[in-house]
Amino acid sequence: MCDSLVARGEGTADGATLFAKNSDRRGREPQPFIQLPAAHHPRGSTVRCSHVEIDQVAETYRVMGHSPLWCWGFEQGVNEHGVAIGNHATWSKDPLESEPGLIGMDLVRLGLERGRDAREALEVIATLVETHGQGGSAFASEGDEGYQNSFVIADGRSAWLLETTARSWAARSVDRGGLTNRLSIGSDWLIASRDLERHALQQGFWSRDGRLDFEAAYAREGWPTFLTQSRREATEQAIAGPPLTVAAMKEWLRGHGRFTAPPPADRAIDDADRYTICMHADPVSTTTASLVARLPVEVGRRPWPVWISFATPCTGLFVPVYLDGVLPRSLASGETPTADTVDPHGRATSAWHVMRVLPERAARDFDRARPILEEGWKELERSIELERIRVEQEAASALALERVDESIVLLTRFMEETVDRMLTTARALTARLS
């Protein structure tokens, strides 16, 4: 399960494009944050995705994103051109393909690596869906089934919702919008696959009565709506509310519906209140990584921040990171702590593993844990934000003078120091919650 929110233009307080997504996965699946360089590829080369091998393109762009440890793709991420993409599991009337194909996380990474803007990234994903289909396990266990996918795709000038069914798809542009794990595009789609209407007619999903309503035609009958009810309501409230800010996006990702704390773990499996934007519904699904991006209209003029969080965002910190710098190694590590992945004091060096302990400790008594966590993170968040503004200004000045290397050094040092401060604080909070 996953939830995304996007806003642009009059939908945000300053007219910027804002993108936010929680990645919800089963259990405690590690999900590090990795960075991949731009690259040129020989003619005729291929790329091995999670389950299938496809033709490679001549050039792939620099990208970074949250990637489940076992898979090739991204749950959510950004590229050097200021494009952000996130995917969501969906199920339609069309059956899942029996043969392996691309999974949604593969499609996110491929869209980022190959799309210079949101519309191009959308076309990349749509073409790949039509060509290769969607299939194969989307979980660490190969025996588990996959799912079809929907996507939020945005850049500094536009935002799109793309929903798929088998090898067909529909998309619409939005100023404010969001997705969860159910089809939501109605008859207001702007572009679609050529076979969308024909396929619906052939399968008996549509009778040519008016313009095709994508959700009405393709949504799976009997799909358990309790999984998405409260989350969809929270997203609709955010869309209908005041212009959005980065802070509002973070708070939306931390939301627990009508609860101020995570819903009690003993709630019934079919209780809609059990499933919130910030997900604590083990073993069904738990939020494992979060991302907020403020997307630039033009890249290269000044650094633009992406805020990331590990494990449930309600217990952690959103730390700013930049493509125009070298990410700290601890962000990209998700391996289970071993002798090779701990510091001299025997502590895990993986940011994901350090941060995931906090929601486990907090769950014992969240009422007690909440003020401890709030107090522990508040001052650090304020300090990091002030330092972020200063560093971005210095890096922008260096870029204006064409001192690119200086800008990279500034951003790299800031990320290293910031992540170190986050991990130090997280360890101290873990000790207090013991």
Sign of CA dihedral 8, 243, 150, 107: positive
- What local confidence, expressed as pLDDT, does residue 267 receive? 82
- What local confidence, expressed as pLDDT, does residue 345 receive? 42
The overall average pLDDT reported for the chain is 92
Query: Which class is 2-299 in CATH?
Result: alpha beta
The domain locations on the chain are: 2-299
CB contact at 8 A, 109 and 63: yes
Q: Which residue has the tokens 């950004």?
A: 78
Q: Say yes or no to pLDDT of 343 above 60.
A: no
Listed range (52-56, 64-68, 338-342) with the worst mean pLDDT:
338-342
- What local confidence, expressed as pLDDT, does residue 419 receive? 97
3-class secondary-structure state, position 144: coil
Listed range (74-83, 281-290, 341-350, 407-416) with the worst mean pLDDT:
341-350
**SS3 per-residue string spanning 87-125:** EEEECECCCCCCCCCECHHHHHHHHHHHCCCHHHHHHHH
Burial class (CB in 10 A: 0-12, 13-18, 19+), 279: buried
- What local confidence, expressed as pLDDT, does residue 338 receive? 47
CB contact at 8 A, 85 and 112: yes
Vertex 221: Cα angle to 91 and 234 (nearest 5) = 65
Q: Which residues, in sequence order, are CB contacts of 109 under 8 Å at separation 6+? A: 63, 65, 67, 72, 73, 74, 77
Q: What is the DSSP letter of 255?
A: -
Amino acid letter at 158? S
Inter-CA distances, 313 with 9, 41, 150, 317, 334, Å = 26, 38, 23, 7, 17
Give the global pTM. 0.95
Q: Residue 37: which of 60, 62, 15 has the closest Cα?
A: 62
Residue 256 CA, chain-centre distance (Å), reads: 18
- What local confidence, expressed as pLDDT, does residue 339 receive? 40
Q: Which helix (H) or strand (E) holds 420?
A: helix 404-433
Pairing type for strands 280-281 and 191-192 reads: unpaired
- 127-136, pLDDT tens digit by residue? 999 999 999 8
**Catalytic residue positions, numbered:** 2
Segment 68-81 mean pLDDT: 95
Q: What is the DSSP letter of 363?
A: T
Q: Which two tokens stand for residue 427?
A: 């360890």
Q: Say yes or no to pLDDT of 342 above 80.
A: no
- What local confidence, expressed as pLDDT, does residue 97 receive? 86
Within 109-243, strands assigned E span 148-154, 159-165, 168-173, 176-179, 191-192
d(CA 317, CA 129): 35
Q: Say yes or no to pLDDT of 142 above 70.
A: no
Residue 332 CA, chain-centre distance (Å), reads: 16
CB contact at 8 A, 73 and 20: no
- 174-229, pLDDT tens digit by residue? 999 999 999 999 999 999 999 999 999 999 999 988 899 999 999 998 888 899 99
Q: What is the DSSP letter of 136?
A: S
236-269 core/surface letters (b: 16 or more CB in 10 A; e: else): eebbeeeebbbebbbbbbbbbbeeeebbeeeeee
Torsion of CA 272, 247, 155, 35, to 10 degrees: -90
3-class secondary-structure state, position 168: strand
Segment 56-68 mean pLDDT: 97
- 91-122, pLDDT tens digit by residue? 999 998 888 999 999 999 999 999 999 999 99
- What local confidence, expressed as pLDDT, does residue 346 receive? 46
DSSP line for 263-298: PPTTS-TT-GGG--SS-EETTTEEEEEEEEEEE-SS
- What local confidence, expressed as pLDDT, does residue 301 receive? 83
- 221-255, pLDDT tens digit by residue? 888 889 999 999 999 999 999 999 999 999 999 99
Q: Which two tokens stand for residue 236?
A: 């609709």
- What local confidence, expressed as pLDDT, does residue 340 receive? 43
What is the band of 348 on the pLDDT scale with cuts at 50, 70, 90? Answer: low
- What local confidence, expressed as pLDDT, does residue 143 receive? 58
- What local confidence, expressed as pLDDT, does residue 144 receive? 65
Helices 404-433 and 351-362 meet at what angle, rounded to 10? 30
